[in-house]
Amino acid sequence: MNLQKLSFLFGAMMLLQFSVSAQLSDSAYVREHYIKIERQIPMRDGAKLFTSIYIPKDKSKKYPFLINRTPYTVAPYGEHKYKTSLGNYPAMMREGFIFVYQDVRGRWMSEGTFDDIRPHIANKRSKKDVDESSDTYDTIDWLLKNVGNNNGKAGIYGISYPGFYSTAALPGAHPALKAVCPQAPVTDWFIGDDFHHNGALFLMDAFGFMSTFGVPRPKPITPEFGPKAFTFPVADNYRFYLEAGSVKDLKDRYFADSIRFWNNLFAHPDLDTFWQARNIQPHLKNIKPAVMVVGGFFDAEDAYGTFATYKSIEKQNPAANNILVAGPWFHGGWVRSEGSSFGDIEFGQPTSIQYQERFELPFFKYYLKGEGQFKPAEANIFITGSNQWKEFSTWPPKDVESKMLYLQPNGKLGFEKVGRTDSWDEYVSDPNKPVPYQDGVQARRTREYMIDDQRFAARRPDVMVYQTDPLTEDITLTGPLQANLVVSTTGSDADYVVKLIDVYPEETPNPAKNPKNILMGGYQMLVRGEIMRGKYRNSFEKPEPMVPGEITKISYELPDVAHTFKKGHRIMIQVQNSWFPLADRNPQQFMNIYEAGAGDFRKATHRIFHDVHNASSITVNVLKP
């Protein structure tokens, strides 16, 4: 064994030992400083929700409740079995709260029937009208009356699905609920979170998650009796999903009709009332608690939900105490990592620790305990590329110039409109040989694809590449992007994937820490990518076929960005028609894709136009110096 490998192994062993030691230390702290009780808390309709409550042993002062409602189990079960840590990180646990963990209705040890992103009932007429808002209200009311030594205040937080439960607590909130922190909240499962993006099924996330999570629970159970993770027969996600065939083939082979979520997908292929009812945003009105929405720009699951939730609250509650914190993080990375790097990209500082110390803990201390000061900006944003925190009075920022980046002939990209009257790129897209979402072979969907090198895709003939000359000055883009494509196809439907990419100069040195030996010279860092299903170009409710050969406009919004393209770098746009198996394959003919069979997937010839009358572009917001 050479010295380099020996040094690496020693470092890994020390890190593992430190991690285990920290867990043991935290576990001991929980037992020494908290008493655990378990209760079945009754809801207004009679259902009882299983709740684990950790109460500080110190009785010298009163404590607020800090609540986490989850579909992922409050385990371990049993009053003699303790969590190894409380809250999002050890400093939160050591600060001292009454930590409350609750299995949501119909999950694990709670009674009732579970419903995915349960619809909110705005006008409740009887005790049978229950939703996540009423369940949270009833939980807080019971806690105030039945758990001693509380100070009469409650907060709620959660990441991802628990982030949705945090958001859902806001409409009609209990008066004692003073601070709410939705983190990467599930918000809209048809437009941009987890399982659909602009109507396209996010195949790997939907199948990988629901193959276990969606298994029916006929009665309250603990994890040892719960569903087991699906065993993939092939450790190559591209091959597994391609060989499985269509979405219908996949369902018939592995699920039949056993998982309700998949049945709902097939029954509701378009944005009908089923999906509309599961969008919490229209109900975010008359918000009373302080709100801090948190998320990551490189969140593979719920980047959309973070910005959509914040903006919905702002729009419908101009006077609400509502702020945004967004950083260079993967899903939950703000509390699940140090945040100094992600994938191959270094940020030069521990952004997650900075978030915890500057935002999350001070937020809850101030609003729940009345301690310290908390005077953040309206929007607290870490801008990658320049790698610095910035404070804004609004999000998106107002001090920007909206510009059009035009796709141009010969793979060029620029802020000047094309003068030619006949200019397009033509290529063939074959759904039986779809463009991979990431280079290499992966067993599962990775989180790093959100920021990874795109040189593998640029080499394919069915990926169109446009890039600027090397920049002569820094350019910082903030807020949402708008894709404005002018296209045609020989088919009657198509997907359109637009990717915004930062191209590093060829002379870029490799970082000191580079275990994968990535060549950073010419690196194509994905800043943002998004897909649009062509048949939904005019309406998500009423899909329309594309007319073969007819010039068509495809316009859609990409989630927000905050990135500086440094002097000497290039801005690149890639356009492609598949992103597999991240998104399901489009047969490239107008139909209900959930009914497609193997023979329905057909080649099509595509054109992307870039002339004076048919100018394809990307609308960007350039931050003023």
Closest CA to 97 of 149, 46, 136: 149
Looking at residue 3, its pLDDT comes to 37
- CA count, 13 A, side-chain hemisphere, 610: 26
Does residue 252 have a pLDDT over 50? yes
- Contact indicator for 69, 163 with CB cutoff of 8 Å: no
CA dist., res. 492 & res. 593, Å (int)? 13
Enumerate domains of the chain plus CATH numbers: 3-188+278-392 (3.40.50.1820), 400-623 (2.60.120.260)
Its pTM stands at 0.95
Closest CA to 202 of 213, 212, 193: 193
502 to 328, 331, 446, 452, 522: CA distances (angstroms): 15, 21, 20, 11, 9
Residues 176-192 pLDDT 10s? 999 999 999 999 999 99
Provide CB contacts within 8 A for 491, sequence distance 6+: 546, 548, 588, 589, 602, 604
Does residue 13 have a pLDDT over 80? no
User: Residue 253 corresponds to which tokens in the numbers above?
Assistant: 């082979």
Which DSSP category does 88 fall into? S
Q: What percent of the chain has pLDDT over 70?
A: 96
Looking at residue 556, its pLDDT comes to 98
- Contact indicator for 263, 252 with CB cutoff of 8 Å: no
- Contact indicator for 167, 137 with CB cutoff of 8 Å: no
What are φ and ψ of residue 617, in 5° steps?
-155, 170
CB atoms within 10 A of CB 57: 9
- Give the model's confidence band at 514: pLDDT under 50 very low, under 70 low, under 90 confident, else very high: low
- Contact indicator for 69, 121 with CB cutoff of 8 Å: no
17-32 mean pLDDT: 67
- CA count, 13 A, side-chain hemisphere, 371: 10
Go through 462-496 and write b for each residue having 16 or more CB atoms within 10 A of its CB, e for each that does not: bbbbbbbeebeeebbbbbbbbbbbbbbbbbbbbbb
Work out whether the CA dihedral 146, 149, 154, 156 comes out positive or negative: negative
- Give the model's confidence band at 510: pLDDT under 50 very low, under 70 low, under 90 confident, else very high: confident
User: Residue 15 corresponds to which tokens in the numbers above?
Assistant: 């890190």
CA dist., res. 610 & res. 350, Å (int)? 43
Q: What percent of the chain has pLDDT over 90?
A: 92
User: Residue 34 corresponds to which tokens in the numbers above?
Assistant: 């908290």
What is the SS3 assignment for 328? coil
309 to 67, 313, 326: CA distances (angstroms): 20, 6, 13
CB atoms within 10 A of CB 37: 12
Query: What integer best gives the mean pLDDT of the chain?
Result: 94
Residue with tokens 């579909």: 71
CA dist., res. 527 & res. 481, Å (int)? 11
**What is the distance, to the nearest Å, from the Cα of residue 2 to the centroid of all Cα atoms in its chain?**
41
What are φ and ψ of residue 304, in 5° steps?
-60, -45
Does residue 20 have a pLDDT over 60? no
Q: Which of 352-366, 502-516, 529-543, 607-621 has the lowest mean pLDDT?
A: 502-516
Strands 177-183 and 290-296: parallel
User: Residue 338 corresponds to which tokens in the numbers above?
Assistant: 């140090």
User: Residue 230 corresponds to which tokens in the numbers above?
Assistant: 């699906």
What are φ and ψ of residue 239, in 5° steps?
-65, -45
103 to 72, 106, 116, 120: CA distances (angstroms): 7, 8, 14, 18
CA dist., res. 600 & res. 589, Å (int)? 8
Residue with tokens 């905050």: 562
Question: What is the H or E stretch that residue 241 is in?
Answer: helix 237-244
423-429 mean pLDDT: 98
Residues 437-454 pLDDT 10s? 999 999 999 999 999 999
Does residue 23 have a pLDDT over 70? no
467-473 mean pLDDT: 98
- Give the model's confidence band at 21: pLDDT under 50 very low, under 70 low, under 90 confident, else very high: very low
Looking at residue 515, its pLDDT comes to 64
What is the SS3 assignment for 589? coil
CA dist., res. 69 & res. 124, Å (int)? 22
Does residue 474 have a pLDDT over 80? yes
Residues 530-570 pLDDT 10s? 999 999 999 999 999 999 999 999 999 999 999 999 999 99
